[in-house]
Structure 1
Amino acid sequence: MTPHLTTRWLKLMSLFVVLLGLLVAFGAHPATALPATWLSDIVFWPFDGAQPLEAPAARVLAAISGGVMAGWGAMMWLILDRLMPADPALARLLIIEAILIWFVVDSTGSFAAGAMVNVLLNTMLMLAFVVPAWFVDGRRVAIPS
């Protein structure tokens, strides 16, 4: 992958994380909770409607985790947009380390909660970031926006 293509891919994945965070955060309000409820039901396969986000504790955790996820995606975008051209080695380190920490914590918690589909989804998202970031060259290069 060229540096330009790698950066574009990683920015696209960062935007996906922001949008997924917003979807989860919308689970905090009954009027906008349906997509987050479906996501919750999918990760606790089978898709059977048994995981509604009705409890106030579930709703506040959706708001908090969705907000953190959206902010994390935005931060990754800024690392890629502002830091990658100046210091690709540092940008690569920040992206890979953050993704791996998220992956271990989220997947361990998902496994403990019995959400095995989420572990699979986490693995796919982790690879979508780590594989391209792993091959980022540590030299400073001009990356077009």
Structure 2
Amino acid sequence: MTHDLHKRWLLVTGIGIASFGPVFALGSVLATAEAARWSLDVLSWPVDGNMNYEAGTTRFLSALTGGFLFGWGVMVLLLRQWVFDAAPDAVRKAVLGGVSAWCVLDSCGSFASGNASNVLFNLLVLATLTGPLWFRAH
């Protein structure tokens, strides 16, 4: 692993996380909630149409989720831009810690809520977002 590969991969990580933000933020308005509803339907496999955004509380939670995801993704991109060259191992470890913590808590909550299939999706997302970051650059 090289410094440049890690820096490029942080683009994948930041954009990957942030890209879910607008999808879920748009879920705050019923007229634009279909992408968020469909995403939840896929993540709660099998796709059966049981996820809905009719309740205002669901749309509010979707708005919060979208904001958190977008902000977290932008933070990764800013760490890449402004901190990584000065402290690459610290940024790498911080990003790994954050993505791993998300994966564990989200997977536990998914399992507890009867959506165990999302644990597999989470592991795939974890592998995609972290890729070579598990290995220290030489």
Q: What TM-score does the superposition give when structure 2 sets the normalisation length?
A: 0.91
The 8 Å contact of residues 23 and 36 in structure 1, kept in 2 or not, is answered as: yes
Counterparts in 2 of 1:1-145, with a 5 A limit? 1-137=1-137
Work out the CA distance in 2 between the residues paired with 1:111 and 1:50. Answer: 17
Q: Is the 8 A contact 1:42 1:117 kept in 2?
A: no
Percent of residue pairs identical: 36
Give per-residue Cα distances to partners, 1:54-90, cap 9 Å, x unaligned.
Answer: 1111110000011101100111111122111111111
Question: C-alpha displacement at 1:25, in angstroms?
Answer: 1.4
Deviations 1:26-65 (A, max 9, x none): 1110111011010111122221211111111111000001
Structure 1 ranges of 4+ moved more than 3 A: none
CA distance in 2 between counterparts of 1:43 and 1:128 reads 16
| Pairwise CA distance, 1:102 | 0.9
Higher relative contact order (CA 8 A, sep 6+): 2
For the aligned residues, what is the CA RMSD? 1.5
1:10–1:132 contact (8 Å) kept in structure 2 = no
Distance in 2 (CA, whole Å) between partners of 1:13 and 1:90 is: 16
SS of the residue corresponding to residue 111 of structure 1 reads helix
Give the secondary structure class of the aligned counterpart of 2:68: helix
The worse-fitting range, judged by mean Cα deviation, of 67-76 and 13-22 is: 13-22
d(CA) in 1 for partners of 2:90, 2:5: 18
Give the SS at the match of 1:100: helix
- Cα deviation per residue 1:89-128 (whole Å; 9 max; x = unaligned)? 1111211111111111111101111222321121112122
* In structure 2, distance between residues paired with 1:88 and 1:6: 8
1:110 touches 1:119 (CA, 8 Å); kept in 2?
Answer: yes
SS at match of 2:63: helix
Contact conserved, 2:13 with 2:130, CA < 8 A, in 1? no
Residue ranges of structure 1 left out of the alignment (5+ in a row): 140-145
Cα shift at 1:10: 2.2
